[in-house]
A and B are shown apart, each in its own frame.
Chain A
Amino acid sequence: MPDPFLIGEAVTCGYGDTNILHGCTISVEKGQIAVIVGPNGAGKSTAMKAAFGLLPLRGGAVRLGGQDISRLTPPDRVAAGMGFVPQTNNVFPSLTVRENLEMGAYLCPQNIEGRIEQLAQLFPILKECSRQSAGELSGGQRQQVAVARAMMTQPQVLMLDEPTAGVSPILVQELFAKIQEIAAAGIAVLIVEQNARQALSFAHKGFVLVQGKNRFTGTGQDLLDNPDVRQSFLGG
């Protein structure tokens, strides 16, 4: 069986003396959405950071399109086609929305206008507030700018660390719809999400992590239907 497009295989890593992930595997295919869920402290965000090279691996490997990228620095991974939206501080607050997008295109500044135009169809706020500084936006608007900034790097894999944190419940559904549109365009999307039930309902693949290990893996629907998963992680 060929490798998935992005795979973090048997990843072990952590901070200081303690390991947070113990041989944990996550993967995602092009055009699909994979969701990582699990209780607090399960290592969801750490798995993201490990996949993006923000933490050195102590075991395992990360491969993108069959290539081992375990030793690439985060900027090199951006160049290799990975986009990352951190959970907090994911915009440049004193830069305008437009400048935030330009920074996303810093590595390949060709056809910025066209790319912004395209993204603005998905996120109209990019045009409406283009001259406003990103720090003045509401939480939901800010998340849209953050996702758009990552999209400006023209990634093949988009990684989102809790994109709906701090976003009002009404807008969560909208944001998810937009993420699905992004995946439909052929991009691999990997999400860490607190709204587990909602996220699994549209996920092609779900990973339930507990204490840094894979507990359950399956399609989103499988996990939703699994009584153990529902009992332990989805509140019945």
Chain B
Amino acid sequence: MKSSRHPSPVDSNVVDTQAVDAKAETNRPPTSWPRPWWIAVAVALGLVVLSVVSRDGGGVNLLNALVRLTNFVVIPGISYGCQLALGALGVTLIYAVMRFSDFAHADTMAFGAMGVILVTRVLQGMGISAGPLPTALLALPFGILGAVTLALVFDRAVYRFYRRQRAAPVTFVIASIGAMFATNGLVRLIIGPGDQRFADGARFIVRVQAFKEMTGLSEGLALKTTQVITLVVAVIVVLGLFFFLNRTPLGKAMRAYADNEDLALLSGINPERVALWTWIIAATLATIAGTLYGLDKSFKPFTYFQLLLPIFASAIVGGIGKPLGAIVGGFVVAFSEIAFTYPYRTILGYLGFETDSLAQLLSTDYKFAVCFIILVVVLIWRPRGIFQGRVT
């Protein structure tokens, strides 16, 4: 292991925590679920399935329950999870490279999405469309350009100053809160605080009616174009990002800088260049996430501002600073939010448990509480997240 001698007090404290982290990381035994749990869960599920199927029309009821669950929990969970994951990736990258939590990230999403909406309107006015796909996809590069410009302006005007001062992370956090309010105000000034819908093209890939006719089930299933686009775009972006980080010299340099700033300097890696590309990538991810979210639901500056909490929760749950963790965290948070606030009455009805209550664990008003609960639980029992991110 590392030298056990005490490092001189002049060594920067960032370096010290890393040494401790590295030690903890290598010594930690691999964690795994205790097997009996799995068996118990499997048996319970099997019993439920058996009891449902054994009744009259039980098989169909089970299918109906599954379809309803897919329609209202699984599909929305996947697309919301992708959106959160893309947002959390940006937060986690900024944290890994610049060592602070960027509070302005959700508003960068709004700013990027706003650019996309404005260009979409122009394109629509010129009669340009992407056929069955939303026009917003054509406008995406312009939105990205806008968000990257904004991020770089903030970097030059604000963050670079503190970087040169080697300011404490908390200073950066406070500065980013300022950037958050500034961006938020800018967005509301330009596009207004109201709701904007900008999805066009084909709305559905599978319609409820068509699904019912096709399968003969009483429960319908809808698959929106935006949900599929979200998944496809997210997969492409994540693959691209991982290729960049693991295969290209610049991506490796970014990881190296995140790992050990001082040694990166001794290898001739230019911190300003790393910072520049981190902002470019984070703003790109933010714009894509914001556009997908807006297409899927709708665009409203205040809603985006509120996305900050689930995005931070995702990044922290997964282990902040770990890109893979941000993705897993995004899905954990998205599915928890939806699963805890969905009323299960109809599904329980199909399974033979008639009830008068909504069978909803929490009202949808409390979906932020779900984020907080996840955060608290993770910070108590696994403070460095699922993938053991860094803690400063």
Contact = CB atoms under 8 A, between A and B. Distances in A.
Interface in B242-299: 249, 252-253, 255-256, 259-260, 262-270
Contact of B249 (A74, A104, A106, A166): A106
Contacts of A45: 8
A136 B26 contact: yes
Given A45-B8, A107-B267, 18 more contacts: A52-B266, A87-B3, A88-B19, A90-B263, A91-B263, A92-B255, A93-B260, A94-B255, A99-B252, A102-B252, A106-B268, A135-B22, A136-B26, A138-B1, A139-B2, A153-B267, A162-B3, A165-B5
Interface stretch (B10-18, B36-44, B222-230): B10-18
Q: Which of A92, A109, A139 has the most CB of B within 10 A?
A: A92
Given A135-B26, A166-B4, A95 B266 contact: no
Contacts of B354: none
A74 B262 CA distance: 10
B21 to A, nearest CB: 8
A91 B3 CA distance: 13
B7 interface: yes
23 contacts: A78-B266, A86-B263, A88-B15, A88-B19, A89-B15, A92-B255, A92-B256, A92-B264, A93-B259, A95-B252, A95-B255, A103-B264, A103-B267, A106-B267, A107-B267, A107-B268, A109-B249, A135-B22, A139-B1, A153-B267, A162-B3, A166-B1, A166-B3
Given A102-B252, A106-B268, A166 B22 contact: no
Interface residues of A, number: 36
Contacts of B264: 92, 103
A149 interface: yes
Contacts of B268: 75, 78-79, 106-107, 153
A52 B267 CA distance: 13
A139 B266 CA distance: 20
B195 interface: no
Given A74-B266, A88-B15, A90-B263, A135 B25 contact: yes
